[in-house]
Amino acid sequence: MLMAKLWNRCLIKVKLLCLAVIILALVCNILIGLSANRLIESANKKFFKPISVQWIYYLPPNFIFLRNLSIYENNSSPGEEIIAFPTVRINLSLWRLITEKRFYVLSINCLHPAAQHYDFMRFIARNLEQILEFFRTLPLQDIQLSISNATLALPKNNNRQDKLEINLILKLAGESVSAYGFSKKKVYLQDPTDPIKPPSVMKTSPLRYAFTGSLTPYGVAVKKMELNGEGIRSELWGETNNAVSEIKGFIFANTTLKEKLYEGSGLAEKLKSLYFNLKHRFTPETLGLPGANLFIFNLDARLNFKYPDIEVERLNFSVNANPVEIKGKAHITEPFSFNFNLHSKFRNLENIKKSALKDVSLAVNANSQDKRLIAGGSLNIACLEDKNKDLPWEKIELVFRDLELTFAEHLLKTHTNWLSLFCKTDTNNYRIILDNLDTENKISENWPKIVNFSSQFYNGSLDGQASILLKKLTPVIKAELDVKNAEANKLEGILIHFSKIHGGISSRMHFLNSPRMVLEGDMHIENGYLNDFEFFKWLAEVFVLPSLRRVNFKQASSDFLVSENGAELRNMRLESEDLKLEGYFKLGAEDLTSSKMSLLFSYGLLNESPKFAPLLKVLQKELDLIAFDFQLAGNLHRMNFKWLQSDFKDRVQKAIPNFIERKIERNIEEFIAGLGQGS
Amino acid sequence: MKNKILSIGFLLILLSPKPAFTQTDYEKYHSALKAIKTGQEDFAFLDLLSLTKEDPQSKYRLVSLFACGEYYFHKFNYRQALNIFSEFIEDYPDSKIKPYALFYILKIAKSWKNAEMVEILENKIRDMKQVILVFKETNEYKYRYTSILGRKYKLIYHIDRVEFNVDGEIVEQVSY
């Protein structure tokens, strides 16, 4: 009986308490509802961009909820929001509310905020100063800020929608600052045959991050900043002191890993995430990275932030034991600009012992003009030592001006006003200049990357396609090129002998850089002429045929091969009125030549020569076309010459006695010796 | 008694062999030739080496120096052979048998697998002559040489190579 009475009394008290809480909640919510507009107006005045809130309500004992909070760029029209927060939960300190009669926020939890990736990044870039200023004006107090399941939507690609999911917890407790969280990519695949069916969802494994540090009078001391994913592991530490940040650390990465997608979020994955989050509430953890092939050690950076400028005073590190130094500056508000210089004494990312030491310098400067990013720069690579000639070149220089980048529908397009590529090998120097080079490349994570390109090319055009594959960490480039109607004599940068060839040249070529550098193809020139072309100039001097110094032709063609061993012209063919030529010509290391040519001269042409005229008299015009087959060898500037057997030679030998043969041979030898001394 | 001693002493001096440093270059040279004829190449070498060192102005020095280089080479003393042939080329840069000395140095460089030295020597050999073959298939170097040690040397030029020939056998070649 007594118990029943006591129980009834308790029940009544509980009911009264509940009623009181309900009444309190109702009263608070009515008050909030009445002053909601004022609250939102006040928030808009304090915040630098328009915001709107659909609902504000209070839940006992100490929670305030904001429903459908949105931040806008300009005006607060529905659909124009940059970031949308469906639910924001604010946890107030009840104690301070009662004792100090003020609202003290203990934690803010943003649930499922969402934004479009491009709009969000543009918003951050445009308003970075205001965002930093806003956070600077906030009162410094212990607080926890958490973002749960935030999504950044990437542009849709056909039936695939990628979204980045971000989870982050940031805590301020006294001077100590900590943060941890993880991100993953969600892939929504719509069945194109059934648009009504909900898309299937796949996820990548998460990328986890953690930060521990402390506030100092002038900035933040970073005890540890970790990044941990399937293909990356990094740890950084340092401090910021006013505008200057000094960071040290290391990074491991596995660049061979391809993105793996998992269906749903399995229990194992959830437990792993929970484990990681729990661990990072208290102590950071060191984890290894199996399969790492990229090691960045001794990272030492000093950055100077003077908004809107960021100066990289130094960024030094070693990547797979290759030292790298970077310096640069960036202006991060419009008009954007940056410039940086990179220098490295580089061997190889894979097998250092077998690789030659190279001096690598890269300088890039860029600025935005009329919403376009225009860049210029240079890349210089010079071999400092020669280890078993593992590289076919000694030096490479690439200079480009007015490179413009644009992104459009998963395509990366570039336009470069001017580009020069110079390559020095031990056999030759090569220089190519391209005007108005356009490239187009589909942005995807797959390899090889395919790049289509076109350019003006020495008053003609160059079109082609290149595929770039990463073999471990070495790029393997294959390209097919098509040249139309370029001015042949302007190609002397590729091969010096082109300076002697005039006419419109068309060519199809194939290029490969690994395992050996090779450029091969065919070329055709129509209605051109050779002017003092090395071989004909030599013939003109030896056989006193001045008209060979300029040879007009209807058609000339040849296959060619350029490699680390030298250059070759194969299947050469040339047709002119008085002359036909077939053969091959090779130029190797140390200017050593190897060649066989078959020349058909007209009777009239040969009759011009005082050396041939007597021979032709002997033959008494039996032949209209006279064939000479030659072999050449030795140094390009002092070639050995051999007259090969032919019908004409047989006839000449039969017609003249041996002593005349010997006399002719002696005369020619003396004459050529005289030429050599003269030159 | 005294006279007897004096006479014997005088006779001994007359009959005793003369010390080497008192031989002339002519005597050393011909002594070497005699030794070669009797198959005593080692003794011949000593005379020739002495001539090269002590008679720098001798007209026999050129052929003696070459012979010393040959001797060292065929005794597999490549270091000394290289020294001698290098001295030969330096002292007689316009000699007509200089090409044969170059080929010997090339063979030494190849045996030591000294790629840099081989490349330099091959370039020097290639630059020696521009070959013109109008009616002939090959061209022979004007100056055949028979050394005092009896070896016969010649160079044969083809369009794409030059052959170093010793006693009718190709012992080395350089390609163009």
Q: What is the pLDDT of residues A539-554, one digit of tens each?
A: 788 778 888 899 999 8
Chain B residues touching residue A654 (CB < 8 angstroms): none
The answer to whether residue B133 neighbours chain A at the CB level (below 8 Å) is yes
Report the Cα B10 to chain-centroid distance in Å.
Answer: 41
Q: How many CB atoms lie within 10 A of CB A196?
A: 5
Q: How many CB atoms lie within 10 A of CB B176?
A: 21
pLDDT the model gives residue B154: 95
Q: Output the six-digit token pair for B68.
A: 């010393």
> Would you say residue B58 has pLDDT above 80?
yes
| Mean pLDDT score, B54-60 | 91
| % of chain A exceeding 70 in pLDDT | 90
Between chains, do B136 and A665 touch, taking CB under 8 Å as contact? yes
- Give A545 to chain B, closest Cα distance, Å: 17
Supply the CATH classification number for the domain B24-175: 1.25.40.10
Give the C-alpha separation, B54 to B48, whole Å: 10
> Would you say residue B18 has pLDDT above 70?
no
pLDDT the model gives residue B12: 59
Q: Give the three-class secondary structure for A201.
A: strand
Between chains, do A653 and B131 touch, taking CB under 8 Å as contact? no
Give the C-alpha separation, A140 to A142, whole Å: 7
Q: What is the pLDDT of residues A123-172, one digit of tens each?
A: 887 787 778 778 777 777 888 999 999 999 887 777 888 889 999 999 99
Q: Output the six-digit token pair for B41.
A: 């190449």
Residue A152 backbone phi and psi in degrees, to 5: -115, 115
Identify the closest residue of chain B to A595 by CA–CA distance. B160
pLDDT tier, A502 (very low <50, low <70, confident <90, very high otherwise)? very high
Type of residue at A149: N
Between chains, do A633 and B136 touch, taking CB under 8 Å as contact? no
Q: Output the six-digit token pair for A537.
A: 């100039």
Chain B residues touching residue A668 (CB < 8 angstroms): 132, 134
Q: What is the pLDDT of residues A180-201, one digit of tens each?
A: 999 988 888 888 888 788 888 8
Q: What is the pLDDT of residues A20-74, one digit of tens each?
A: 888 878 888 887 777 777 878 887 777 888 888 888 888 888 888 999 988 888 7
* Cα Rg, chain A, nearest whole Å: 38
pLDDT the model gives residue A273: 59
Which residue in A365, A342, A345, A363 sits closest to A355, CA to CA?
A345
Type of residue at A598: S
Sequential DSSP letters for A83-139: EEEEEEEEEE-HHHHHHT-S--EEEEEEES-EEEHHHHHHHHHHHHHHHHHHHHHS-
Q: Say if CB A367 and CB A395 are below 8 A apart.
A: no
Give the C-alpha separation, A267 to A269, whole Å: 5
Q: How far is CA A236 from CA A233, A436, A651, in A?
A: 10, 43, 86
pLDDT the model gives residue A674: 67
- Give B119 to chain A, closest Cα distance, Å: 10
Q: Output the six-digit token pair for A592.
A: 């050593």
A398, with CB counted inside 10 A (0-12, 13-18, 19+), is: middle
The answer to whether residue A663 neighbours chain B at the CB level (below 8 Å) is no
Mutation target to probe the B interface, by most B beta carbons within 10 A, among A586, A640, A651 is A640
- Give A593 to chain B, closest Cα distance, Å: 8
Between chains, do B135 and A676 touch, taking CB under 8 Å as contact? no
Give the C-alpha separation, A428 to B57, whole Å: 47
Give the C-alpha separation, A599 to A612, whole Å: 15
The answer to whether residue B6 neighbours chain A at the CB level (below 8 Å) is no
Between chains, do A631 and B159 touch, taking CB under 8 Å as contact? yes
The answer to whether residue B135 neighbours chain A at the CB level (below 8 Å) is yes
Between chains, do B131 and A642 touch, taking CB under 8 Å as contact? yes
Residue with the larger pLDDT of the pair A297 and B8 = A297
pLDDT the model gives residue A618: 67
| Mean pLDDT score, A463-484 | 88
The tally of domains found in chain A comes to 1
B84, with CB counted inside 10 A (0-12, 13-18, 19+), is: buried
Q: How far is CA A535 from CA A251, A283, A304, A330, in A?
A: 58, 78, 62, 55
A101: left (phi over 0), alpha (psi -120 to 50) or beta: left
Q: Say if CB A57 and CB A32 are below 8 A apart.
A: yes
| Strands (DSSP E) found in A174-308 | 176-189, 200-203, 207-216, 219-228, 232-241, 244-253, 262-263, 294-306
Q: Say if CB A521 and CB A510 are below 8 A apart.
A: yes
H-only helix segments in A487-630: 534-542, 603-606, 613-619
Q: Say if CB B86 and CB B117 are below 8 A apart.
A: no
Cα-based angle A47, A50, A54 (whole degrees, multiple of 5):
105
Q: Output the six-digit token pair for A582.
A: 């077939």
> Would you say residue A420 has pLDDT above 80?
yes
Q: How far is CA B133 from CA A352, A642, B144, in A?
A: 50, 5, 19
- Lowest average pLDDT, out of A275-289, A387-401, A650-664, goes to A275-289
pLDDT the model gives residue A286: 43
Nearest to A590 among B123, B132, B135 (CB): B123
> Would you say residue A413 has pLDDT above 60?
yes
Mutation target to probe the A interface, by most A beta carbons within 10 A, among B121, B127, B130 is B130
Between chains, do A669 and B135 touch, taking CB under 8 Å as contact? no
Give the C-alpha separation, B51 to B20, whole Å: 10
| Mean pLDDT score, A286-310 | 82
Q: How far is CA B68 from CA A73, B50, B65, B74, B125, in A?
A: 96, 10, 5, 10, 22
Report the Cα A336 to chain-centroid distance in Å.
Answer: 20
- Give A635 to chain B, closest Cα distance, Å: 8
Q: Say if CB A106 and CB A92 are below 8 A apart.
A: yes
Residue with the larger pLDDT of the pair A438 and A141 = A438
Chain B residues touching residue A649 (CB < 8 angstroms): 135
Q: Say if CB A453 and CB A463 are below 8 A apart.
A: yes
Give the C-alpha separation, A281 to A288, whole Å: 20
Give the C-alpha separation, A379 to A371, whole Å: 26
Which residues, 6 or more positions from A42, have their beta carbon under 8 angstroms from its beta carbon?
A: none
Between chains, do B159 and A665 touch, taking CB under 8 Å as contact? no
DSSP state of A62: T
Mutation target to probe the B interface, by most B beta carbons within 10 A, among A642, A662, A672 is A642
Give the C-alpha separation, A182 to A205, whole Å: 10
- Give A676 to chain B, closest Cα distance, Å: 9
| Mean pLDDT score, A114-119 | 87
| Within a domain: A551 | yes
Give the C-alpha separation, A364 to A4, whole Å: 86
pLDDT tier, A283 (very low <50, low <70, confident <90, very high otherwise)? very low
Partners of residue A328 on adjacent β-strands: A312, A340
Q: Say if CB A204 and CB A185 are below 8 A apart.
A: yes
- Give B131 to chain A, closest Cα distance, Å: 5
Between chains, do A665 and B160 touch, taking CB under 8 Å as contact? no
B68, with CB counted inside 10 A (0-12, 13-18, 19+), is: buried
Give the structural domain span for A606.
516-679
pLDDT the model gives residue A281: 47
- Give A626 to chain B, closest Cα distance, Å: 16
| Mean pLDDT score, A82-93 | 90
- Give B143 to chain A, closest Cα distance, Å: 16
Q: How far is CA A363 from CA A1, A22, A373, in A?
A: 92, 68, 16
The answer to whether residue B116 neighbours chain A at the CB level (below 8 Å) is no
| Strands (DSSP E) found in A73-104 | 81-92
Chain B residues touching residue A653 (CB < 8 angstroms): 135
Type of residue at A247: I
Sequential DSSP letters for A637-650: GG-EEEEE--HHHH
- Lowest average pLDDT, out of A267-276, A365-374, B2-11, B88-97, goes to A267-276
> Would you say residue A677 has pLDDT above 80?
no
- Give B135 to chain A, closest Cα distance, Å: 7
Between chains, do B133 and A641 touch, taking CB under 8 Å as contact? yes
Is pTM beyond 0.80? Reply is no
> Would you say residue A573 has pLDDT above 60?
yes
Between chains, do A641 and B123 touch, taking CB under 8 Å as contact? no
Which residue in A556, A540, A659 sits closest to A609, CA to CA?
A540
The answer to whether residue A667 neighbours chain B at the CB level (below 8 Å) is no
Q: Output the six-digit token pair for A585.
A: 């010509």
Chain B residues touching residue A661 (CB < 8 angstroms): 134-135
3-state helix/strand/coil string of A462-494: EEEEEEEEEECCEEEEEEEEEEEEEEHHHHHHC
How high does pLDDT run on average in chain A? 84
User: Would you say how long chain A is, in residues?
Assistant: 679
- Residue A313: how many CA atoms within 13 Å on its side-chain side? 12
> Would you say residue B17 has pLDDT above 70?
no
- Per mean pLDDT, which of A127-141, A237-251, A492-506 is the most reliable? A237-251
Q: Where are the domains of chain B?
A: 24-175
